[in-house]
């Protein structure tokens, strides 16, 4: 019989990890779509915002792949991606309110990701929370437990 509680997750992409992978994949898709349209169609309108959308897309993609792969190295890469994302969404969030003329058009991270239901703000926090247990449990030098 299976147990519904996430007692001992053995892989980053199982249990709640699957939901996080799904969310990351959707964000990667959304950010890739948005940034490629913006850069191809009207780059000169807001170059900074559009480059940031592309950077966000890349980071979402890296996080998605790393969480799917698992393993201690992938966990490290995923953790760094989530940390960059959190820093990015906070910094760009503040900047977009403080200096709105830098952002004539929306990006994934501007206004703390309000255009995406604040998922860009919540997701890296969820990701970091989820990855924590693997970083402590799976570090090769730390041994079991």
Partner 1 sequence: MLAPLSTAVIVVSVGVLLVAAVYALLDRLVNDGLLAALALLEVALIVQAFVGVARIGQLPAERATFAAYLFSLPFITPFTTLLAIKEKTRWAMVTIGVGAFAVAVMTVRLDQIWGARG
Rg of the chain taking only CA atoms, in angstroms: 17
- State in angstroms the smallest separation of the CB of 36 from partner 1: 7
Interface with partner 1 by CB under 8 A: which range of 10-18, 44-52, 69-77, 106-114? Answer: 10-18
Among 12, 30, 61, 79, binds partner 1 (CB under 8 A): 30
Q: Give the number of residues in contact with partner 1, rule: CB under 8 A.
A: 25
Closest CA to 67 of 53, 52, 54, 82: 82
Q: Which DSSP symbol is given to 14?
A: S
Closer of 25 and 90 to partner 1 (Cβ):
25
Contact predicate 20/127, CB 8 Å:
yes
Helix (H/G/I), strand (E/B), else coil: 143: coil
Which residues make up the interface to partner 1 (CB under 8 A)? 2-6, 13-16, 18-19, 21-23, 25-26, 29-30, 33-34, 36-37, 40-41, 117
């Amino acid at each position: 019989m299976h147990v519904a509680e996430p007692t001992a997750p053995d892989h980053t992409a199982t249990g709640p990890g699957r939901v996080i992978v799904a969310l990351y994949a959707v964000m990667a898709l959304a950010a890739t779509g948005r940034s490629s349209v913006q850069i191809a169609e009207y780059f000169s309108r807001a170059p900074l915002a559009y480059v940031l959308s592309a950077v966000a897309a890349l980071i979402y993609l890296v996080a998605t792949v790393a969480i799917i792969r698992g393993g201690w190295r992938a966990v490290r890469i995923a953790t760094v991606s989530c940390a960059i994302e959190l820093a990015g969404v906070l910094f760009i969030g503040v900047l977009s309110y403080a200096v709105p003329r830098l952002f004539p058009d929306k990006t994934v991270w501007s206004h703390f990701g309000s255009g995406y239901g604040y998922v860009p703000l919540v997701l890296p926090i969820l990701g970091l929370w989820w990855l924590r247990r693997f970083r402590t449990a799976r570090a090769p030098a730390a041994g079991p437990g």
